[in-house]
Amino acid sequence: MERTAVNPWDWSIKLGYNQAEVIEGATRQVICAGQTAVDENGAPQHPGEMRAQISLALDNLEAVLNGAGMNLGNVVKLGVYATDVDEALKNLDLMGMRFGPHRVAPPMTLLGATRLAVSGLLFEIEATAMA
């Protein structure tokens, strides 16, 4: 699979994502459901702690991808939902820390939500991955 970044402006690169990517040669695609800060039994973790919830949601996303034989380097699109966008933005350095070693900056959309499906959750991330 070959990825070519499309960035008519550089401001999004500074935030850790590309405006678009051209994907060529992919043969498998995985669509991941939204991952949140829950344990292996689905119980919410880290109430009120945005940074800890982002970290656990990313752990859970990695676990799903690993189960499909992929990793964060295969992610080509992210959808992020947060109950407090400003607080999420303060902690999005975690995204760079996790995706950076894979040398990818997938296109991303961040949306504010009044609440997520399970009370107490603050952050949810969904992904499309290709190999």
The CATH number given to whatever domain includes residue 79 is 3.30.1330.40
Residue 16 belongs to some domain of the structure: no
Residue 9 belongs to some domain of the structure: no
**Residue 52 CB neighbour total at 10 angstroms:** 17
Distance (Å, rounded) from C-alpha 117 to C-alpha 35?
11
Strands 75-82 and 108-112 come out as parallel
To the question of pTM greater than 0.85 for the whole model, the response is: yes
Q: Which residue has the tokens 């504010």?
A: 112
Question: pLDDT by residue (tens digit) across 41-72?
Answer: 999 999 999 999 999 999 999 999 999 999 99
Tokens of 6: 């499309």
The predicted structure's pLDDT at residue 36:
98
The predicted structure's pLDDT at residue 12:
93
When pLDDT is averaged across residues 12-22 and rounded to a whole number, the result is 94
Residue 44 belongs to some domain of the structure: yes
When pLDDT is averaged across residues 94-117 and rounded to a whole number, the result is 97
The predicted structure's pLDDT at residue 89:
97
The predicted structure's pLDDT at residue 34:
98
The boundaries of the domain holding residue 79 are 27-130
Residue 64 belongs to some domain of the structure: yes
Distance (Å, rounded) from C-alpha 33 to C-alpha 41?
16
Residue 126 belongs to some domain of the structure: yes
Average pLDDT score, the chain: 97
Residue 56 belongs to some domain of the structure: yes
Residue 87 belongs to some domain of the structure: yes
Beta bridge partners, 110, equal 80
- Number of structural domains, the chain? 1
